[in-house]
Amino acid sequence: MKEYVTHEFGPFYQTDSKILILGSIPSKQSRIQGFYYGHPKNRFWKVLATVLNEPIPISIDDKKALLTRNKIALWDVLASCEIHGSSDSSITNPIPNDIVSLMKQCQIKKIYTTGKKSYQLYQKYCYPTTKIEAIYLPSTSPANCKKGIEQELINAYQKIKETLYLE
């Protein structure tokens, strides 16, 4: 059964953030924790830390510090939607976040999306106003657990590090 979900916490950013990483909408675990990529089996933090040559953050404060040091902002494409559990493929009635308002508060140069659904939603609802092409990154969700995926994720997420070095 689908439930109506609203984004319960705001974007994480600093005024000097240069990269914006967007998911679709927080998972149940993330909503419980009050921060992004909160499911213990989600590989986002491990992959990002590996790519950035940082220790894997454990606490929310550690995660925020990693993002701050690397000028990375996090948010989600959607402010609300109907969803079954945490299944992006079940999303209906999406309402997008105002990405442009966030971009006015920092120095975003590149936008990345984690997963196919967030990319599709960004392209449909946000690109027309941001005019910045999103760069697709594969999902780090535990639902995307085929063999060898962790190295594939690390290879794909290298784009973030390359962007940081271009600045």
Query: What domains appear along the chain, each with residue ranges and CATH number?
Result: 3-166 (3.40.470.10)
Beta carbons of 15 and 105 less than 8 angstroms apart: yes
Q: pTM for this structure?
A: 0.92
Q: How many helices (H) and strands (E) does the chain have?
A: 7, 7
- What residues act catalytically? 42
pLDDT higher than threshold 50 for residue 8:
yes
Predicted pLDDT of residue 141: 77
- Residues 41-70: pLDDT tens digits? 889 999 999 999 999 999 999 999 999 999
